[in-house]
Amino acid sequence: MSKQDLHGSVNLEYYRVFCSVCECGGITAAAEALCISQPAVSQAVRQLETALGCRLFLRTSRGVKLTSEGELLLSYVRRGIDAIQDGETMLRRMKDLETGEIRIGASDMTLQFYLLPYLEQFHEQYPNIKVTVSNGPTPETLEALYQGHIDFGIVSTPFETKQAVKSLPVQEIRNVFIAGPKYAAQLKGRKLSYKELLNCPCIFLERNTSTRRFMDEFLAKRGVRLEPEFELATSEMIVQFVKRNLGIGCLMSDFASEALGNGDVFALEFDEEMPSREFCLVAAEKAWMSPAAAKLFKQLAKVTT
């Protein structure tokens, strides 16, 4: 066997024995500390010396003494052993949820109206777990999941997946059309046809959102294709635009609840109700999750059972 082969085949256990002999000052004391036989310790030292091609110890009447090569090696091996022990400690802490990180993908809508209370509860239970939330619409969240940038996501239907993804519905949601007081005489208190929206200025979310996609598909099946005067990035902005009578807005109902309750806007009624949608937990089918992420995902999944 060549020296190169020997270097590649050194058993890490030999280094642990080497450290123990150094700390204990002799073969016999190291054997007792490691709970193995004295010949086994001697053999491990010989194997290590053979593999490295140098003497590590000088035998004396008082035990053993490190050679200059042994002293050099010990300075590195101790750091390595300490690093391994630190790694084992951190792994135990991670398994016990004393440390760790969770990466979640969520939109403003799913974060505010679903995820936030559960994150608050989880943080109270496990305050040392770091939680990173990547904020973006459903398509961006799914792409982050495919790329392995997040452990799991909270998305809203409808959505299509390009890879194997497990999906679990967790909450029902509904869209609502709202208008400001300027439109009350024209639209309030009537059962409307969706085609009447063609005669009104409209305020919608951008096209890359699930809310907009759902609305567009629903209306298209009824022969209504709307080109909004305003396309906005957030639902909060839609409410503000509608309150100022800039047009008819469509958004998830929870975003409009305060403005509706205050009478700043009113909800339009139609002769056919738009179907409900869902928030869904999504995770890659075969991806590994950290213990902390798996724990939170399991807690969220239990809410639906």
> Which comes out higher in pLDDT, residue 135 or 88?
135
What integer is the mean pLDDT of 91-111? Answer: 84
Instruction: Name the pLDDT band for 96 (thresholds 50, 70, 90).
Output: low
Contact 192, 270 (CB under 8 A): yes
* Beta carbons of 233 and 147 less than 8 angstroms apart: no
* pLDDT digits 0-9 by tens, 232-242: 999 999 999 99
Containing H/E element for 267?
A: strand 266-267
- Separation CA 139–CA 251 (nearest Å): 18
Which domains, from first to last, does the chain contain?
Answer: 3-95 (1.10.10.10), 101-172+278-302 (3.40.190.10), 175-275 (3.40.190.10)
Q: Is the pLDDT of residue 248 over 70?
A: yes
Phi, psi of 147 (to 5 degrees): -80, -5
Contact call for residues 157 and 112 (beta carbons, < 8 A): no
pLDDT at 304: 54
Q: pLDDT grade, residue 168 (50/70/90)?
A: very high
Q: For residues 50 and 6, is the Cβ–Cβ distance under 8 A? A: yes
> Residue 12: pLDDT band by 50, 70, 90 thresholds?
confident
Q: What value does the mean pLDDT take over residues 282-305?
A: 84
The answer to whether the pTM exceeds 0.75 is no
Q: Running DSSP on this structure, what letter comes out for residue 159?
A: -
Confidence (pLDDT) at 5:
42
- pLDDT for res 303: 65
pLDDT of residue 262: 97
